[in-house]
Amino acid sequence: MPKYQKQFRILVAVDCIIFGFDGAELKILLVKRDLEPEKGKWSLMGGFITERENFDRGGARILKQLTGLEGVYMEQLHAFGHPDRDPSERTISVAYFALIDIHKFENQINSNYHAEWFPVKKIPKLIFDHSNMVAKARERLRYKSAFHPILFELLPEKFTLPQLQSLYEGIFDTEFDKRNFSRKIHSTKLLVKQKDKDKESSKKGAYYYKLDKRRYAANLHAFLNIIPNPVIFNRL
């Protein structure tokens, strides 16, 4: 088999923008970089692609290294290739974003990495072009979640409508009418009402819901219409 002799070869990395939701705020999981250059600075979790690995697998491996989680919602975001993005040697990076249930992570955290959750509105200075990656991931999350039911991935198995609404409101940085919101959510028929209530955050308590997994799996690519029109228009 012939070889491409004269071309030059480049380091290829995968970086992960890991989103979580703690009930109040959308957050991103960052690590303190453990190799030079920029050692000790805040960074996305990432790593070089290995010889027999495609991007999806690389992303999944890197996510698992840090969080211990598998089978997580992940999606390729964008390939970043500015020639000077890594000052020590040209490296391209294929960025992925992941949506995880923040509570699952807490049990499985890999303490080899110094990892910390940061609210998306208070992200520290990041190495290289990682801030661009985060900005692009937030944009994509808004765009995608405006049309597709993916935000459930950020919630625990049982969640309440007020929790769900506050997640949407956080991502779109606005407030929705709860009657309209509830009607729209129910019209998707994706939720199954439970018998028990969450009494943590109110005296009356809010009913828990679970995803109807069958319908959910069949509707991941379906179109929702949760976001009121003027909002969609201004924010996407």
Partner DNA sequence: TAAATAAATGTAATTACAACACTTATTATA
Partner DNA sequence: TATAATAAGTGTTGTAATTACATTTATTTA
Q: Given the complex with DNA, which of 89 and 196 has the nearer CB atom? A: 196
Q: Which does residue 124 touch among its own copies, DNA, none (CB within 5 to 8 A, set by kind)?
A: none
b/e code 98-123 from CB counts within 10 Å (16+ = b):
bbbbbeebeeeeeeebebebbebeeb
59 contacts 103 by C-beta, under 8 angstroms? no
220 neighbors 150 (Cβ within 8 angstroms): yes
Instruction: Indicate the Cα dihedral angle 72, 76, 77, 83, nearest 10°.
Output: 130
Site map (CB under 8 A) of its own copies, residues 45-84, x = contact? ---xx-xxxxx--x-----------------x-xx-xxx-
- Token output for 189: 């028929």
Question: Which residue stretch of 70-78, 96-104, 148-156, 174-182 sits at the interface with DNA (rule: CB under 7 A)?
Answer: 174-182
Q: How far apart are CA 45 and CA 35, in angstroms?
A: 12
- Residue 182 binding DNA, by CB under 7 A: yes
Residue 109 in tokens: 């955290």
* Minimum CB distance to its own copies smaller for 192 or for 236: 236
> Does 107 participate in binding its own copies (rule CB under 8 A)?
no
Contacts (Cβ under 8 Å, ≥6 apart) of 109: 66, 67, 68, 115
- Binding track, positions 13-42, relative to its own copies; x by CB under 8 A: ----------------------xxx-----
- The single residue among 69, 92, 115, 206 that binds its own copies, judged by CB under 8 A, is 92
Q: By rule CB under 7 A, what string of x and - marks binding of each residue 108-147 to DNA?
A: ----------------------------------------
* Residue 195: Cβ-neighbour burial (10 angstroms; 0-12, 13-18, 19+): exposed
Which entry of DNA, its own copies, none binds 10, CB below 5 to 8 A by partner kind?
its own copies
Whole-number minimum distance, CB 195 to its own copies, in Å?
33
Q: Which is nearer to DNA, 91 or 166 (CB)?
A: 166
Q: Does 202 bind DNA (CB under 7 A)?
A: yes
Cα separation, 40 vs 49, in Å, equals 22
Backbone dihedral angles phi then psi of residue 110, each to the nearest 5 degrees: -90, 110
Return the SS3 of 233: helix
User: Which residues of the shown chain bind its own copies in the complex (CB under 8 A)?
Assistant: 1-4, 7-12, 35-37, 48-49, 51-55, 58, 76, 78-79, 81-83, 87-92, 94, 221-223, 232-233, 236
User: Which residues of the shown chain bind DNA in the complex (CB under 7 A)?
Assistant: 160-162, 177-180, 182-184, 197, 199, 201-207, 225, 228-230
